[in-house]
Structure 1
Amino acid sequence: MSELDRYLNAATRDNTRRSYRAAIEHFEVSWGGFLPATSDSVARYLVAYAGVLSVNTLKLRLSALAQWHTSQGFPDPTKAPVVRKVLKGVRALHPAQEKQAEPLQLQHLEQVIACLEKEGRDARNADNQPGFLRAKRDTALILLGFWRGFRSDELCRLNIEHVHAVPGSGISLYLPRSKSDRENLGKTYQTPALLRLCPVQAYSEWLSASALVRGPVFRGIDRWGNLGEAGLHPNSVIPLLRQALERAGIAGQLYTSHSLRRGFATWAHRSGWDLKSLMSYVGWKDMKSAMRYVEATPFLGMTVATDQLI
């Protein structure tokens, strides 16, 4: 790979690159299309999967086709009026409510953390090091994910060198890049210590238990209690969360990794945060993105000092 290719490659996020590759393969292999494509073939492709794939998925497929044609020096067929008109028709004839993750309510957060803490104590008493480490790791991951409103990929990319925790005070976490940071400028996030469900204490206890001093914060743990060198894959956060919830007696299949982010947003909204403060804290750039995460149903459960988090 040349230096030019290396920098061009770095400009596109890994998840986007994988999605685009899958979209091109779907167009060519699953549907039997040819590249470079014509606007007519792209329009027929949309018709073939209207009502089968969501509008958002079809839009992603169009973005992938547009990127392929542009990068190869061909005219972009997705910009043709017929393609845009067909997509508008698909949206009109196949309206679908956007699926959203169930927000993790505070009472359920308390419940799952209590379960993990009990598992950690039982594992330590039974000299079960793998079980003890998993309990400490999962507690820290869930509490940081909730109180910071982090996405799963952000949690998995946290590095110890970029985290500064002061027990009883607070924690700062630097992310060199994130989905909302299009220019890759990096951003530092801060969260205070809390009297209950404290992410600072959970993080400190995880580092103490794991004896980690550098590299990814959250890693895989094998059956012998050995920690992996690489960080967890973002796709592993959903089963990790669901399994922890199931063990705590909560229907885990209702939740995804976005449940932590939506749970915090809904809690903050119901606790009286104004939308501007919430957007600033979580890192949303536009109001539409923020409102998609705010659940209308009020939360039940414990209360923490909300002024500490603003």
Structure 2
Amino acid sequence: MSIPPGGVQTVQIPGSDTSDSDESVEDTDYPSRQHSELITGRQVPSVSAPHGHRLNSGARTPDHNFLNYSVCTLLNTSLAPSTMNSYRNAWKHYMAFHQLYYPQCAPLPVPVVHLTQFIATCQHRQLKPSTITSYVSAIAYVHKIQNFPNPAEAFIVQKLLRGLRRDGAKDKRLAFCLTDLENIISYLPSVCVNGYYAVLYKAMILVAFFGLFRIGELALSKLGQNNLIQKAGIQFEYANGKVSGVQVELQAYKHSAGRGARIPLSRQPLKSLCPVRALTRYLRRSCAYQGPLFHHPHGIPITTSAFCQVLRQCVIKCNLDPKRYTSHSLRIGGTTHAHLLHMPATQIQQLGRWRSNAYLKYIRPKPVPITS
């Protein structure tokens, strides 16, 4: 039986166009075309022998067209292919802006006010600060190669770029609350291809929330399996013949410096949101494969991309912003939940494996609406 990637149904997700590329924009081949235009038609002085030496009579003296071609080639070679492609893409985006707002004006040189408005347009499209900065660098390059005044050096442009970096440095991800978890879990049966995956992802969500786990500790990431929880690291605790809790062993984790950790999971009063019950139910349905804790029916580990795809679809169905509610919102939400339950700070630090008060940045309670 073949398993679809991530065990989820393929769903087309509508959204605003925030792509950094735009194939519909007219291809204006900058800056490579600028290189050729820079030297087109310019005469190169006749070649004479330096210091009185005679030229090789057998060597053909190159004409100015050949030399111009060589100059253009060297200029193109001065940029790495990836940089050239990035600059071309940036100029395409600027030309789309220019044609929309200033079609009657010459594209070069770019006035400072046009550049500031282009930056604002990019921010409105929710492009990353690094992407916008690279666009401005491309525009600056075009001006330098043409000996135009560089608008990117203007004070206001530099302040705008600094503002973008400062704003982008803020972590805008929000915390899941218990109500969010209930809603997300309720949509798992409609998102997953079968009951096994619905049980699996419910266990992953609740374990991540109440254990303050990073998703890379529950699912396979590009960094490999070093921090991945193994089935052998699960130990159940019993009281009066019933499972009362779970100890989850981590062999390594981010900034662990070779140290391991044991994370306790306790039963929760609300059965539908109890990580111990969810994990027990999942393990009863999973196969006897040893290795990573969460896996497909045939034993292959669940990947972080598969988990994030499932979570994103559920978040959208809950009418939440998928850009602000991500897999890390589970760790943020679990920390906030523990704080609201008045868990001691030292215990929160131990649970989340923080060695400082960095956990305070994860406490993000939702604002309570004011009722009249």
* Whole-angstrom distance in 1 between the partners of 2:243 and 2:172: 35
The answer to whether 1:99 aligns with 2:171 is: yes
2:366 corresponds to which letter in structure 1? T
Which deviates the most, 170-179 or 157-166?
157-166
Shift of residue 92, structure 1, vs aligned partner: 7.3
Deviations 1:149-198 (A, max 9, x none): 101101122211111124531001111111131x1221111111223211
The answer to whether 1:216 aligns with 2:292 is: yes
Structure ranking higher in helix proportion: 1
Number of the residue aligned with 1:238: 308
1:189 aligned to 263, 277, 281, which one? 263
Deviations 1:35-75 (A, max 9, x none): xxxxxxxxxxxxxxxx98658xx9xxxxxxxxxxxxxxxxx
Number of the residue aligned with 2:361: 292
Number of the residue aligned with 1:176: 251
Number of the residue aligned with 2:82: 30
Q: Is the 8 Å Cα contact of residues 241 and 252 (structure 1) preserved in structure 2?
A: no
Distance 1:94 1:112, change over 3 A: closer
Number of the residue aligned with 2:207: 144
Number of the residue aligned with 1:164: 235
CA RMSD of aligned residues (A): 3.6
Q: Percent identity?
A: 24
TM-score, normalization by structure 1: 0.58
Deviations 1:211-232 (A, max 9, x none): 3352222123xxxxxx243312
* Whole-angstrom distance in 2 between the partners of 1:285 and 1:230: 33
* Whole-angstrom distance in 1 between the partners of 2:80 and 2:167: 26
Distance 1:93 1:154, change over 3 A: closer
Distance 1:219 1:28, change over 3 A: farther
Query: Between Structure 1 and Structure 2, whose CA radius of gyration is higher?
Result: 2
- The number of residues matched between the two structures is 211
SS in 2 for 1:99: coil
Number of the residue aligned with 1:304: none
* Structure 1 gap segments, 5+ residues each: 1-26, 33-50, 59-88, 124-128, 221-226, 301-310
Q: Is the 8 Å Cα contact of residues 175 and 365 (structure 2) preserved in structure 1?
A: no
1:193 corresponds to which letter in structure 2? R
* Structure 2 gap segments, 5+ residues each: 1-78, 85-122, 134-159, 220-227
